[in-house]
Structure 1
Amino acid sequence: MKNNIKYPIKAVSDLTGLTEHVIRAWEKRYNLVIPDRTETNRRLYSKDDVEKLSLLSKASKSGYSIGVISNYSLEQLNQLFGEKEPYIKKEEITATDTTIDNVIENCISFVKILDKKAFEHELYSAQIKFSQPILIEKIITPLIERIGDLWKSGEIRIMHEHISTTIIRKFLTQIIDANLVDTNAPKIIIATPKGQLHELGALIVGVVASSDGWDVTYIGPDLPGEEIAAAIEKINPKVVALSIVYPSDDVLLDKEMLKISRLISSDTVVLAGGRSVLSYENILRKMNVKIISDLNEFRDQLALARLT
């Protein structure tokens, strides 16, 4: 599948070292890049846009006039600095355990010192360097688990866990919004049921679905069954995906799931996954909810749903 990942202007600013004001000014004055626009008129930049702006930033700091080199190609810009290969493509990078661990450890270090900007920059840099499957499955998912374990062990405070959740939530949401899908793409609703407050797993599922060409509607965490059912009735998705992470012993979850099953069409495929999903296996299977053990199985279920 063609890589359609786009980057919001804040991410581009972090990655290039240019302020958002300078990026906008250069666009207007020199027509350097032409970003896509969302329905709300937010700028979205391609990988090549980010690279070009990074090189122009470097050239400007080296004394070059932007007006003179504004029409240079990526290859020409790289030649200014004696680089034969203008760009290391994601597929050319070997994602060794060491490089992945470095990203995770850097993120954790930034969380501990509450360096929000450095944490965000590390995530956006990883998005540039690694393919999306590696980014999500080898970096983001283990990072979330590590942060949760550190909080449980008392090595970090609640505030550390909250700020990391806020940053990762924003990062994942931007990936979902930036993945371009066809107007006739199959639809999926993603949520967490009432009482399930942890939403990062749901957002990870949203990233995977959007990268596989699904039109994702994420309606949020901790939603009553009737609200999920109302969204299903309005959107009429092929698939509903529910994330169940914590707690694992909520006696009210059975009732919430029953509400959903009674209010939606039997044609709607309902998937459930997450760290605590097996704790509710009996009730989920009675309602014909398909339990997902990992992201590969989730992708398989999406592929099957496309055929129905």
Structure 2
Amino acid sequence: MYSIKQVAAMLDIPTVTLRAWENRYSAVTPERTESGYRLYTDENVEDLRWLKEQVEQHQTNISEAVRMLKENKAKPPQPPESVMPAPLTTPVPTMEEAYSRMADQIYDSLYHFQGERANGLIDFGFTMYGYDSMFYHVLVPILVRVGDAWEQGRATVAQEHFMTQLISQRFYQFFHLFPIYPHLPKVLALCPEGEHHQVGLLLFSLFMRKNGAEVLYLGANTPEEGVFPIIREQKIKLVCLSITNPSLSEKSDRLIDRILSEFPYMRFILGGKGYERNKNAAYPDWIMPENSSDWQAWLEREYLTENPLRTQN
């Protein structure tokens, strides 16, 4: 849920315009707190984003744009013919089956380098299931499946790179969607030198952004010499490291030791199969759960209780 000030900043729409669109045209109907403050849902934000696009890019007046929006929302969503999912069967599938079916179709498109079809399916999935459900129940399982296929020789390096890059681009689009709370410490996210798989790091960085933290994302194969100036100049207080290869854990631990020697206040979050599979990890308390559904509870238990990332009201 977002306040009117947050929505105004996210969409670059003045708060007075948001109120006018609501009061005069019933563009969206945000929820209200007991004190009467507006609270906007993700759906409200996307509807407002669409209205702004119609007004600014297509020169549609706001009343007509609102009418079009309501007509579109009254109709059941239909995917483009070229990306039509397989017809529903009887009985109606469960949500898990629907997610799996969508994931299979996107994976098959990516596997055969059909990027346009894959993007069309992803867009349709966002419409049908919402952003969170698509990310965690469809796109993340695809990324896991891609990694497994590459490790087992069922996907070429080119296929793995193509599939990972396209989905990663969809994640990047949402980095700037969420508001940043200035009182929270900056987070640095990276894979150490030698680690080329960054999907888990990207997903966790998006998770941290949703919690209101500003994340400086360096990505895969980050040279060590570039890390220290950023920590110093940007006043980083929390470093996220991700490795998929357990053989890199000692190298990563040495990097942590060197960071701590210069910045003893630093805190760390460690993730990826390289840490999860390492039974002799030097810093086991900093290793996050493998299941993304457990991240929020873990973050609150291990970090928010000591207030490094607590959102202030």
| Shift, 1:209, TM fit | 0.7
| Shift, 1:104, TM fit | 0.9
Give ranges in structure 1 of 5+ residues lacking alignment. 7-32, 34-44, 57-65, 88-93
Match of residue 68, structure 2, among 77, 84, 97 = 77
* Structure 1 residues 125 and 207, CA gap change in structure 2 (3 angstroms): farther
Q: Does 1:218 align with 2:229?
A: no
Residue of structure 2 in register with 1:171 after alignment: 170
* Structure 1 residues 86 and 229, CA gap change in structure 2 (3 angstroms): same
Amino acid at match of 1:303: L
Match of residue 293, structure 1, among 264, 289, 293 = 289
Larger deviation: 174-183 or 298-307? Answer: 298-307
* Structure 1 residues 183 and 201, CA gap change in structure 2 (3 angstroms): same
Q: Is the 8 A contact 2:54 2:65 kept in 1?
A: no
Larger deviation: 205-214 or 175-184? Answer: 175-184
* Distance (whole Å) between structure 2 residues aligned to residue 190 and residue 161 of structure 1: 22
| Shift, 1:50, TM fit | 5.8
Amino acid at match of 1:299: L
Matches within 5 A, 1:109-124: 109-124=108-123
Match of residue 272, structure 2, among 268, 271, 274 = 274
Matches within 5 A, 1:117-132: 117-132=116-131
| Shift, 1:52, TM fit | 4.8
| Shift, 1:70, TM fit | 6.0
Q: Does 1:303 align with 2:299?
A: no
* Distance (whole Å) between structure 1 residues aligned to residue 193 and residue 158 of structure 2: 23
| Shift, 1:254, TM fit | 3.7
| Shift, 1:205, TM fit | 0.6
* Structure 1 residues 125 and 269, CA gap change in structure 2 (3 angstroms): farther
Normalised by the size of structure 2, how large is the TM-score?
0.67
Residues 196-220 of structure 1 deviation map (CA, whole Å, 9 limit, x = unaligned): 1111111101111111111111122
Residues 155-179 of structure 1 deviation map (CA, whole Å, 9 limit, x = unaligned): 3322111111111221111211332
Residues 102-141 of structure 1 deviation map (CA, whole Å, 9 limit, x = unaligned): 2211111111221112222333333344344433322222
* Distance (whole Å) between structure 1 residues aligned to residue 182 and residue 160 of structure 2: 37
Secondary structure of the residue that 2:239 maps to in structure 1?
Answer: strand
Secondary structure of the residue that 2:236 maps to in structure 1?
Answer: coil
Secondary structure of the residue that 2:229 maps to in structure 1?
Answer: helix
| Shift, 1:274, TM fit | 1.1
| Shift, 1:279, TM fit | 4.3
Residue of structure 1 in register with 2:21 after alignment: none
* Distance (whole Å) between structure 2 residues aligned to residue 272 and residue 77 of structure 1: 47
Matches within 5 A, 1:1-308: 1-2=1-2, 46-49=45-48, 51-52=50-51, 71-74=63-66, 76-77=67-68, 84=74, 96-245=95-244, 247-250=245-248, 252-264=251-263, 266-280=264-278, 282-285=280-283, 290-294=286-290, 295=292, 296-297=294-295, 298-300=298-300, 301-304=302-305, 305-307=308-310
| Shift, 1:234, TM fit | 1.8
Normalised by the size of structure 1, how large is the TM-score?
0.68
Amino acid at match of 2:165: T
Secondary structure of the residue that 1:175 maps to in structure 2?
Answer: coil
How many residues are aligned here? 251
Amino acid at match of 1:269: R
Give ranges in structure 2 of 5+ residues lacking alignment. 9-26, 28-43, 78-92
* Distance (whole Å) between structure 2 residues aligned to residue 105 and residue 155 of structure 1: 15
